[in-house]
Amino acid sequence: MIFGKIEYLNLLPFHVFMKRFIKNSASKMSMEYKRGVPSTVNTAFHKRRVDAAFISSISAKKSKYVSLGIIAKKHVKSVIIIPSVTSKKDLESASSNVLADVLGIQGEVLIGDKALRYSLENSNYLDLAEIWHDKYQLPFVFALLCYHKDKKLYKRIEKEFLKSKVKIPQYILQQASQKTEVSKKDVLGYLKLISYELDSKSKRGLALFYKESKKVI
């Protein structure tokens, strides 16, 4: 399996889970990673350079996916906009840039770990997921676990991941903290804001985003 790996903190629990899943798999499956930011992983997936990946929701509309995603129930701290009279998109992003347009907010979009660092150190920003929730009372789905084939495998990954309680080993947490320059305490606090189950309410939020995005794309 070639998996498109986005190395943002929000997927740290999933990557820890996958290491154990592969190790304990009866089929002794192997996995090769192709790493990148969301926008590049989107491209790699659609060009079939990877078999599966968490794909930006705006780019996943016509793809096959399971009920796993990167979801913010309310605020998220890692998808923000710094208000300004001019707009600046984040080249690493896809869904978040469109979300800013859907919400009609001008400014500089920041996503991922750099956005999290900024939100922890500054107050002059708006949390796009929080604004979405305030407006529609629905979660925002930033990405979906998409695949090209082997549906049974990814449904099994979905089932096992959602029922597992992933504990991040201290050495991995320390490595993530050093790499991102976010304290271990803040990493753990941030991960509490992320949901991974594409439940009925999240599906309604996703459908609404697709509907509203047609007005700005």
Would you kindly state where each structural domain of the chain is located, as residue ranges?
2-198
Domain 2-198 sits in CATH at: 3.40.190
Q: Which residues, in sequence order, are bridge partners of residue 53?
A: 4, 146
Mean confidence (pLDDT) of the chain: 95
Tell me the C-alpha distance between 210 and 85, whole Å.
26
- Least confident piece of the model among 1-10, 190-199, 204-213: 1-10
The tokens describing 140, both together, are: 């925002």
Q: 180 falls in which pLDDT band (50, 70, 90)? A: very high
Task: Kindly give, in sequence order, each residue whose CB lies less than 8 Å from that of residue 119, ignoring residues fewer than 6 positions away.
Answer: 77, 78, 80, 125, 127
Per-residue CA distances from 180 to 5, 115, 145, 174 (Å): 16, 11, 23, 10
CB atoms closer than 10 angstroms to residue 49: 13
Supply 103's token pair. Answer: 């919400």
pLDDT of 23 > 90? The answer is: no
The Cα–Cα gap between 37 and 41 comes to 6
Contact at 8 Å (CB) between 182 and 114?
no
pLDDT of residue 128: 98
pLDDT at 95 (0 to 100): 96
Which strand (E) or helix (H) includes residue 142? strand 140-147
What's the rounded Cα separation, in Å, for the pair 32 and 44?
14
Amino acid identity, position 115:
A
pLDDT above 70 as % of the chain: 98
Task: Kindly tell me if the per-residue pLDDT of 181 is higher than 90.
Answer: yes
Q: What is the pTM of this model?
A: 0.94
